[in-house]
Amino acid sequence: MDKNIFLNDDRVDGIEKVTGRAKYTADQRIDNIAYGVFVTSIIARGAIKNLLITEAKNSPGVLDIIFYQNCPPVPGYRPHDKELNKRGFEWQGLKVFNNNLVYHYGQPIALVVADTWEKAVKAAKLVKAEYITEAFETDFEKLRTDETKLKKIGEYKRGEPDAYKKADVFVEAEFFTPIETHNPMEMHATIAIWEGDDKLTVYDKSQGPKGTQSQLARCFGLEEKNVRVITEYVGGAFGASLRSWPNVPAAVIAAKKVKRPVKVLLNRRQMFSMVGYRPQSWQKIAIGATKEGKLVGITHHAVSNTSRYEDYREGIVNASQFLYDCPNVNTSYKILPLDLNTPTWMRGPGEATGAFALESALDELAYKLNMDPVELRVKNYAELHPVSKLPWSSKFLKECYDAGREKIGWNKRPTTPGLLKEDGMLVGYGMGGGVFGAGRGNAAVKAILKKDGTLTLQSAVSDMGPGTATAMVKIAEGVMDMPASKIRFMLGDTDFPPGPTQGGSTTTSTLGNGVSLVCDALKKNLKELAIANVASFKTLSADDIEIKNEQLISKKDGSARISMSELVKVTGKEQVEIIQESGRAAAEAQKYAMNSFSAHFVKVHVDPATGAVKLKQIVATGDGGKIISEKTARSQMIGGAVGGIGMALTEEVLIDHTTGKYVNDNLGSYHMPLHTDVPYIDTWFPNKPDPVINATGAKGVGEIALVGFAAAVANAVFNATGKRINKLPIKPEDLMS
């Protein structure tokens, strides 16, 4: 099929995705595969006294039932066993089947392996457990004020603490956010295949195949080169695949034990109890300002939950330290261990939670000051990073404010809440700002120029959806000056050179730099090959040659000329290969603060009869530096806004505190935004290259697309109704009381 039938900015993997040919982990067809289905705990804390497996074991098709009593020794579970685990590595997270302890409801306690999925499911229900139960704690709201249970994570102070109290005007408010889950449409899956005693191939839903490879090699005492991790396509992740969950070691253990490839696919309920989530939080924020609106002091305290077996922390209070220019700031952050599974990074981790409080409180302050909320932000615009005192490598947030105001029609916003009506609905406008770190990590990329003139690029990254391959092809297209249709970017296989984990909005920056550098190296190499092998180039130096339109041409008079494909043929090779490593941002970058910024503007309707909130218009603006692929970047901003609608209005995991069970652990009861919840979404980018961060000038937009959005909705709801709702999600009943 000819991919050129599509416009240049279409996704390079679009055809694979719309035809169903794209292979996600569970889609892989493996001969002689067996199926593993988890049995999970129905208590929140305690131990398994006895696991009754006889009936299940005799069930048709069952190959094995793996649990703590028969789990083979896993080196990574025993960091102090020098014989088994020379490197002293310890598996992070739940050590599945390691012992009989139960840390949370829904914890995997056994894996039933059978020759078909149906038989495994059937047998799994025959496994019975007798438990020793212990008292447990899952109620965050009840316990968050109990200092004896909290762990201090960090404190920050600049200037005078609680200086807001002395300001002309100040606001103080508490904010509450629930557990939110990523729940990507693809459920987590792992296929493990032992290719001998010391060689392992794993198909896994991973945001970082290299990371998974390294973890597995160390956990199972294998050479890293003997572990191959393949992640061809990822069906969404949003942070949920930044680390490995119990399905990964369980599949590997099971495949070893039954001597067959084993596929472990979580079901939707298990996506709640075995995969991490955005933790529940409480925040108290106070902001003071002069009568003119200059910030005097910000105080921000936060508590979020973690599990009993790991300390999960995130930067909830960080943006309050640096998003605005303010002389006095103090923050604190604590975590509360509960008998739940461990939370994890979810899109805009920490920042999204913190921005809800900061940006809502600023809005409230603006009303108190009788000031436009955007003007309040402009008045306190930070030109230097307030913590490091460094200049930003680039910052075009004011431009975002301007574009957002214009596109949403900010001048129609009523300054007094609750007055504007449209079609019988209360109308409100709101905005919220977002920020996230930008940076650049290590990446290696291989470039292969074949004699047919096509260029293949390879790196062991995966793409959870933003369109990494598409962006990389566009970068290569620009550097090589050759058509995108002749460039292929291959990813998702640890046999390729090491690429970064896709997270924290750094892939385009990190990998794009690698692609840019490898293309530069390839061009240099081609010039040298031309000088060495082609008569008309013999007298030229590399500086005399340019590569344009797939040809090497003498800059002087154009007399020497050869196509790239011809050059490969002349050298007598099938292809020219080169691997280039790209490092972290250079020393120059240490002189700058690096962030991406966003400003979200929304218009809502609130039904005065029911309290239902509906988004009517959204403008999402983001300074992500240079936009490599406008089409996919726009989709990321839209996706972030949709995630923000969920955070603001619909998403909340509910816990039955009498059992510790997640009550709404399915997509029918955990409400993610649907088609009917989402209006047209306008996006805008300053699209100004960052001069410092990397060779392409791209900073990244994945997180800022969400950070600050929920506050924009809450602020619009206040503008419509005069009701300030500081507890997410905002529910109709909150507005009717």
Using an 8 Å Cβ cutoff, are 224 and 213 in contact? yes
Query: Closest Cα partner for 179 from 251, 77, 279, 103?
Result: 279
- Binding status of residue 657 toward other proteins by CB under 8 A: no
By CB neighbour count within 10 A (0-12 exposed, 13-18 middle, 19+ buried), where does 538 fall? exposed
Q: Is 15 in the site for other proteins (CB under 8 A)?
A: yes
Q: Are 521 and 237 in contact, with CB atoms under 8 Å apart? A: no
Pick the stretch among 39-47, 137-145, 314-322, 561-569 that binds other proteins (CB under 8 A).
Answer: 39-47
19 binds other proteins (CB under 8 A): yes
Distance of CA 251 to the CA centre of its chain: 24
Cα–Cα distance measured from residue 502 to residue 468, given in angstroms and rounded to the nearest whole number: 9
Choice from 465, 497, 498, 503 touching other proteins (CB under 8 A):
465
Residues 6+ apart with CB under 8 A from 396: 597, 623, 686, 688
Binding of other proteins by 32 (CB under 8 A): no
Residue 134 as a binder of other proteins (CB under 8 A): the answer is no
* Residue 349 beta carbon to other proteins: minimum distance, rounded to whole angstroms: 17
- Confirm or reject binding of residue 709 to other proteins (CB under 8 A): no
Interaction residues for other proteins, span 243-282 (CB under 8 A)? 265, 267-270
Q: What angle do CA 265, 270, 274 make, to 5 degrees?
A: 100
Is residue 238 at the binding interface for other proteins, with CB under 8 A as the rule?
Answer: yes
User: How far is the C-alpha of 700 from the C-alpha of 694, rounded, in Å?
Assistant: 11
Residues 154-213 contacting other proteins, CB under 8 A? 182-187
Question: Is residue 600 within 8 Å of 708, Cβ to Cβ?
Answer: yes
Sites for other proteins among residues 75-114 (CB under 8 A): 106
Residue in 114, 124, 358, 599 binding other proteins, rule: CB under 8 A: 124
* Binding of other proteins by 55 (CB under 8 A): no
Closest C-alpha to 111, from 126, 124, 93, 129:
124
Minimum distance from residue 432 beta carbon to other proteins (Å): 17
Min dist CB 234 to other proteins, Å, is: 6
For other proteins, give the closer residue by CB, 207 or 394.
207
Nearer to other proteins (CB atom), residue 658 or residue 737: 658
Note whether 16 binds other proteins by CB under 8 A: yes
Q: Which of 65, 129, 438, 585 binds other proteins (CB under 8 A)?
A: 129
d(CA 708, CA 147): 29
Query: Is residue 29 within the footprint of other proteins (CB under 8 A)?
Result: yes
Query: How many of the chain's residues bind other proteins (CB under 8 A)?
Result: 84
Q: Which of 535, 676, 733, 737 binds other proteins (CB under 8 A)?
A: 676
User: Segment 533-562, which members bind other proteins (CB under 8 A)?
Assistant: none
**Shortest gap between Cβ of 505 and other proteins (angstroms)?**
14
Spatial distance between the Cα atoms of 580 and 452, rounded to a whole number of angstroms? 22
User: How near is the Cβ of 320 to other proteins at its closest, in Å?
Assistant: 27
By CB under 8 A, tell whether 598 contacts other proteins: no
CB of 47 to other proteins, least distance (A): 16
Name which of 361 and 620 has its Cβ closer to other proteins: 620
Q: Which residues, including other chains, have CB under 8 Å from residue 519's CB and lie 6 or more apart? A: 447, 475, 476, 479, 480
Cα–Cα dist 705/353, whole Å: 14
Q: SS3 letters for 273-340? A: HCCCCECCEEEEEEEEECCCCCEEEEEEEEEEEECCCCCCCCCCCHHHHHCECCCEEEEEEEEEECCC
Tell whether residue 668 is a contact of other proteins (CB under 8 A). yes
User: In this structure, are strands 487-490 and 455-458 parallel, antiparallel, or unpaired?
Assistant: parallel
Q: How many angstroms separate the CA atoms of 35 and 121, rounded? A: 9
* Under rule CB under 8 A, residue 635 binds other proteins: yes
CB 341, CB 274: distance < 8 Å: yes
Residue with Cβ nearer other proteins (80 or 675): 675
- Least distance in angstroms from the C-beta of 681 to other proteins: 5
d(CA 36, CA 264): 5
> Does position 641 bind other proteins by CB under 8 A?
yes
In the complex, least distance from residue 185 CB atom to other proteins, rounded to whole angstroms: 4
Residue from 222, 234, 455, 540 binding other proteins (CB under 8 A): 234
State which of residues 40, 244, 513, 650 lies at the interface with other proteins (CB under 8 A): 40
Confirm or reject binding of residue 504 to other proteins (CB under 8 A).
no
Contact 282, 297 (CB under 8 A): no
Query: Is 46 one of the binding residues for other proteins (CB under 8 A)?
Result: no
- Please, which of residues 571-590 interact with other proteins by CB under 8 A? none
